[in-house]
Structure 1
């Protein structure tokens, strides 16, 4: 394991130990120069301070640094802040990655293009963000192991009698003559037991200790945080976390995104509004201002899945569940939850046209076009036929002589018809849009709009989270660690007889020095102990000296 350091007391310490694990003597030159001992890790040897040879050592030392961990957190916070400057991908109305890229460039110019290229538009799923989270987890693990293992070993090996040089380097220290030193040690042990201390007596020395478990609070805290980060990273693996959006029209059946083998059908969408009588009791003036206030909107849904034992390539489905999906009342099955999140009313579903003779207005027949899947041609009988040469679901005018289509949603349908009749066997062409008809020549026949049918669309969100219990466990452990390190303190008091018959007292705690001194004073009311002092000023001077020395070295 490398070199070792043998203390005068006979205990063999690992290389890099500053205070002997057994008696507390200062071993390094730096420890000997200090007036107040550094008790953060009991002066134990840390791997990061003693190994610096191989690439593994260098990697370990890099991630064990608290500064590195802090910088990773700062980078995560900065990138998270940048990710809020522009909308995330989930809020962009685009279907393909090309459309997403075009959206950012169109609306935000060069900034939007760079924003998309760097992955800030889908930041929490980007590879670099996951690497940063992983690096933070590695930093926490290595930094914790680098400190907690030597700390545990050092506390486990500590002896009851400590060397006077150790006692003298404690912040609370006192030495003096008493009438019966050994009797005072024994009486002190009894009094500290009454204060709920764990007490050990050995060779005229006493160690009173309580609250050691509070020293593990930060490491319990780190364990919970590591579990929490692991849950976040697992969300990036297929099947662990699903948060998908889908739009489904009334009467439509669609495959559920990221839920292979499952399908959902909308039997109908219901929208209810508060009546004037109801609103007076609940909202009052709000109804007068808004005009209408939604009371309820829901999708009557049927959930299907692939039938067990169905032949590959077939579409045999079996009904699983019927459920009205209402806000805050999702359809749940097999870990999936389908929420009602949005809606669109009165989307054009079909349009009915009549082929009329212009001169007389006589109709040669009607046809109904399903806008989501128009048929290529319609036979009206008696030799009359209408073909759809081109279809624009979301017509946006003509540019450079070509009709423009914005989206596949039938917001503003337009058609190029070819009308064939016995009188016009070669056919006549007409461009028909809402409130607009264009003809290349004078036609004998025209397409007249008759009626339109609409349907409502439901906006659903599909969620499945297998990591929720991992995040919950991580959060609970994290809070236990916070409480453990915040509301308890590790207190120790050493009392022993000196070589010249004097009594030596020393005390240490990781926080709340006033509480420790109050308990020592309570013992002094019943036991003769030497006067002690709180050398807080010396400790502050020591910290300033080390800070200046560190600055000079850098």
Structure 2
């Protein structure tokens, strides 16, 4: 590792632009600048010094601000594309075998491609999590690359600085003073700066007054908050940290709860209440003119059970009741870190259909059958000598394709059946296709028919199962981030240097990382109190010179045009 030796004799690491001891410029580029680059105190930044090995190149890639901004933009664009269609957690899958079928049915080819690319569940997709990981690495590397050198430089900064360092500060002043006047100015400056809550150090005819150094760490605290937040986001992919599942359960059913291993839920009853006309306020009616009924409440009365630890999955024979309560909108069932929310419902889903086996000629019934649409039997006994065989069942009849009946989903939304009816008169059996408002006889005219007589319905509750152990981590990340924003926005790092030269001059310089107005206000107070030389703002002077030069050139152009 090469060392850069300053004229003061101090050895500086390679890449240093301002001497760590006296502050003199060490490179030709830095010497050519009128004002010193104080962003990182002139310290050696690794990414700006080394670029030889693979490790150097990887480090420099992730430490680049441009790369970090590019990753943020790509992440935001990807998240925006994820809003084109609803995310999978908001799509009802009850009518389809899987999410892919649901997206294809609802949005066609675009929906199918959208799902295959992982955009339907974008925040859990591997490539989005890769972007989040890259962003986290970029923030960590950029913070270490700049933060560690800055910390070392500020911790070890010297009181006495070279004249070149002071002259190249934005605020600078110089004046002739006797030794006694200079000592008095030092004492008064120290007293006044301490009064203004500055930390003052003196050493060999030099003074350093410093205030608000912690403000330099505001951006780095922001980075820590972002890293904590991103860590919480990535933890959501780890098993047990984040669960967001959907459970559709019918009245009377007992089902295993997705995401809650070993727990079962029984739906006792679903209740749906609406406002009566007398209960609705006039303004409420005005906003709901097109609605026949306004929901007042919907809830599911449930029982929560836990299976034994050694139970076989799906075995509900030895369950222990854990909790019994109604799940109401915004009043979830909570247990062991889990929460079950009432999110949706379907009223009057078909449960059981009742048919009579009818003699078409006499219109007499030989008996009736009740078909459970969720779990139908294969054969039904009718009377003493007759039976009905359920050859095929189509829960959601969607028409014919190439002469074959089709079902759109496994849900009993539009049931259809192919029956084979056996009676003493028709021992070989007769085949009939029966759907709602439709009866076909594909193998010829039959003597008997299945006549619909009644239907039983039940309600279905749509519940959301949630567990989020990352919430506190996300909140902590947000709090730390806002702390960094507050520190970086409302405080500034202010410094004042005084130097008594051998030729009887008193030099004063000042620097702040932001809010020069407040810095100048402090300088005005100490200058008047300690009778220091009048300072100049070299940045303003340069700006005035540039403006004057520009005006002069504009006048010359006007003269040439005339």
SS in 2 for 1:525: helix
On the 8 A contact 1:35/1:542 being kept in 2, the answer is no
Between 376-385 and 109-118, the greater mean CA deviation after superposition: 109-118
Instruction: Give the unaligned 5+ runs of structure 1.
Output: 544-554
Label 1:163 to 1:61 Cα distance change in 2 as closer, same or farther (>3 A): same
Between 474-483 and 89-98, the greater mean CA deviation after superposition: 89-98
Task: Please say if 1:415 is aligned against 2:417.
Answer: yes
Between 448-457 and 395-404, the greater mean CA deviation after superposition: 395-404
On the 8 A contact 2:96/2:409 being kept in 1, the answer is no
Report the equivalent of 1:154: 153
SS in 1 for 2:279: helix
Q: Aligned-pair distance for 1:542?
A: 12
TM-score normalised over the length of structure 2: 0.92
Report the equivalent of 2:42: 43
Distance 2:345 2:110 in 1: 32
Task: Please say if 1:509 is aligned against 2:512.
Answer: yes
Distance 1:542 1:118 in 2: 58
RMSD over equivalenced CA pairs, Å: 2.2
Task: Please say if 1:290 is aligned against 2:291.
Answer: yes
Between 136-145 and 392-401, the greater mean CA deviation after superposition: 392-401
1:339-385 deviation line (CA, Å, top 9, x unaligned) = 00011000000011111111212211111111000011111231111
What does 1:318-333 align with in structure 2 at a 5 Å threshold?
318-333=320-335
On the 8 A contact 2:399/2:406 being kept in 1, the answer is yes
1:53-99 deviation line (CA, Å, top 9, x unaligned) = 22111111110000000000111111112222233233344479985
Report the equivalent of 2:461: 458
Label 1:313 to 1:516 Cα distance change in 2 as closer, same or farther (>3 A): closer
Report the equivalent of 1:442: 445
Report the equivalent of 2:553: none
On the 8 A contact 2:172/2:509 being kept in 1, the answer is yes
Q: How many residues align?
A: 543
Q: Aligned-pair distance for 1:506?
A: 0.2
On the 8 A contact 2:224/2:480 being kept in 1, the answer is yes
On the 8 A contact 1:48/1:146 being kept in 2, the answer is yes
Q: Aligned-pair distance for 1:245?
A: 1.0
Report the equivalent of 2:200: 199
Distance 1:369 1:407 in 2: 18
What does 1:265-280 align with in structure 2 at a 5 Å threshold?
265-280=266-281
On the 8 A contact 1:178/1:528 being kept in 2, the answer is no
On the 8 A contact 1:36/1:539 being kept in 2, the answer is no
On the 8 A contact 2:159/2:203 being kept in 1, the answer is yes
Task: Please say if 1:426 is aligned against 2:428.
Answer: yes
Report the equivalent of 1:487: 490
On the 8 A contact 1:250/1:269 being kept in 2, the answer is yes
Report the equivalent of 1:63: 62
SS in 2 for 1:260: coil
On the 8 A contact 1:35/1:538 being kept in 2, the answer is no
Distance 1:246 1:542 in 2: 73
Report the equivalent of 1:212: 213
On the 8 A contact 1:273/1:294 being kept in 2, the answer is yes
SS in 2 for 1:132: helix
On the 8 A contact 1:355/1:364 being kept in 2, the answer is yes
What does 1:137-152 align with in structure 2 at a 5 Å threshold?
137-152=136-151
Q: Aligned-pair distance for 1:232?
A: 0.4
Between 256-265 and 465-474, the greater mean CA deviation after superposition: 256-265
On the 8 A contact 1:323/1:331 being kept in 2, the answer is yes
Between 210-219 and 314-323, the greater mean CA deviation after superposition: 314-323
1:95-136 deviation line (CA, Å, top 9, x unaligned) = 799854455455555544443332222211111110001000
1:391-448 deviation line (CA, Å, top 9, x unaligned) = 0111112221111111111111111111111111111111111111111322221111
Report the equivalent of 1:551: none
Q: Aligned-pair distance for 1:514?
A: 1.2
Distance 1:96 1:227 in 2: 39
Distance 1:479 1:128 in 2: 28
What does 1:28-177 align with in structure 2 at a 5 Å threshold?
28-94=27-93, 99-105=98-104, 108=107, 110-177=109-176
Q: Aligned-pair distance for 1:464?
A: 0.5
Label 1:312 to 1:455 Cα distance change in 2 as closer, same or farther (>3 A): closer
Distance 1:260 1:540 in 2: 70
TM-score normalised over the length of structure 1: 0.94
Between 90-99 and 130-139, the greater mean CA deviation after superposition: 90-99
Task: Please say if 1:341 is aligned against 2:343.
Answer: yes
SS in 1 for 2:22: coil
Q: Aligned-pair distance for 1:24?
A: 0.8
